[in-house]
Amino acid sequence: MTPVELSRTVLRAVRRAVDEGELRVSVPERVVVTAPGPGGCGDYATNIALQLARPAGMPPRDVAEILQAHLLSTDGITDGITEGITDGIGDGSTDGIADVVITGPGFLNISLGGTAPVALVEEILRRGSRYGFAHGPSAEFVPLYCPREVRAVVVMDAVARILRSQGALVRTRCEAAPEPQWADILGVRVDEHGTQGAHGVQGSPAPPHLLVRPVPAPADPLPLGRDAARWALLHPAAHDRPRLTDDHLVQRESNPLFRVRYAHARTRALGRNAADLGFAPAPGPVEDAHQLLAALADHPRVLARAAAQRTPDRVARHLVTVADAVLPLLPAVLPRGAEKPSAAHRARLALAEAAGTVLAGGLSLLGIDAPDHL
């Protein structure tokens, strides 16, 4: 069961509790599942019981106990697997819910079947750079509009890429023709330019365009080159002033962009070295990889949230999280000395390749290259 399937399964548990009169609340549109926090357990956790407690007029733990019973029911487990088949997510072989434990004031801690992490890695390797993308086009049309300012154009370009990954139809417009160098060096693409004429105020979007207007760049980012410049403009939140310094070009650990690209390049190098040693990746259990697995599982949610809130900085920060989680794993991927490749080596290699896939896909959505050699 993937995180998306699990989220839907929890949502169905809420809906059943409402239908059966156990809870008197409005069913939320979505439920967020994350890695368990301090004091938690299992594979995923959700605070949905705490969210529903006040509107339900009940203690959070009572709400949690109601939802726990529904999640542990046989039909709840079956529904989670069935929906994976219906929606085209997975192949129906993923495990369902094995246990649900309530901790703290009412957190639901959910344990999946023993092969859930394996299924996650298999899904990432199967879908490749499109892991986390929508499975088809949506009915959403999003017209974006930005002022003629370099950071605004870059942010709009990244927002458009992320929205398209979630199936939206996007049309971008700039108030005036961007500088040619912005396209040549920064790789931005704008569908059209010009003000909105009679439908809007000069220099402002006509409804229903969505305005993209981050804090402007304090200097010309072009001397940094495409990748460093885009990262410098996209990594900070839209309301933060970006730093356009040579620090983004430094090839060391203090540079987040370097860590992300270095982690990706290392995963690709391990794949080449493993091939030279005569073994290939094979998803399997990996010890002490919970943080990395949680970050990889969270990737679809991060993309969906970044699309909904027009925040490419979420994607950039998530890639740093994935890179920092995978780097400690990499030294143990290949056999050492006379050691023979084992199932553990193949499983670690598969997990590393899955992380590299997520890093490459995320960088692509930000318009940044992910080189195999660094």
pLDDT in 10s for each residue of the chain, 374 residues: 677 788 899 999 999 999 999 999 999 988 998 878 777 787 789 999 999 999 999 999 999 999 999 998 844 443 433 333 333 333 333 357 888 999 999 999 988 765 578 888 999 999 999 999 988 888 889 999 999 999 999 999 999 999 999 999 999 999 999 999 999 999 999 999 887 543 444 455 554 679 999 999 999 999 999 999 999 999 999 999 999 999 999 999 999 999 999 999 999 999 999 999 999 999 998 988 888 988 898 898 899 889 999 999 999 999 999 999 999 999 999 999 889 999 999 999 999 999 999 999 999 999 999 999 88
Where residue 294 sits, what CATH number does that domain have? 1.10.730.10
Roughly how many angstroms between the first and final C-alpha of the chain, as a whole number? 35
| Structural domain ending residue among the three candidates 114, 133, 151 | 114
For residue 227, how many other CB atoms are within 10 A of its CB?
Answer: 21
Whether 78 is in a domain gets the answer yes
- Residue 66 lies in domain: 3-114
Which among 194, 199, 208, 193 is positioned nearest to 143, based on CA atoms? Answer: 208
Sign of the alpha-carbon dihedral angle for 280, 135, 93, 289:
positive
DSSP code at position 14: H
* pTM assigned to the model: 0.74
For residue 371, how many other CB atoms are within 10 A of its CB?
Answer: 13
**Contact assessment for residue 174 and residue 193, using Cβ atoms and an 8 Å cutoff:** yes
Whether 276 is in a domain gets the answer yes
Q: How many domains does the chain have?
A: 3
Give bridge partners of residue 46 from the DSSP assignment: 108
SS (HEC) of 119-181? HHHHHHHHHHHHCCCCCCCCCCEEEEEECCCHHHHHHHHHHHHHHHHCCCEEEEEECCCCCHH
Tell me, yes or no, whether 157 and 75 share the same domain.
no
Lateral strand order in the sheet of 192-193 = 192-193, 169-174, 141-146, 210-211
What is the token pair recorded at 318? 């998530």
**Contact assessment for residue 329 and residue 369, using Cβ atoms and an 8 Å cutoff:** no
Tell me, yes or no, whether 288 and 331 share the same domain.
yes
Whether 59 is in a domain gets the answer yes
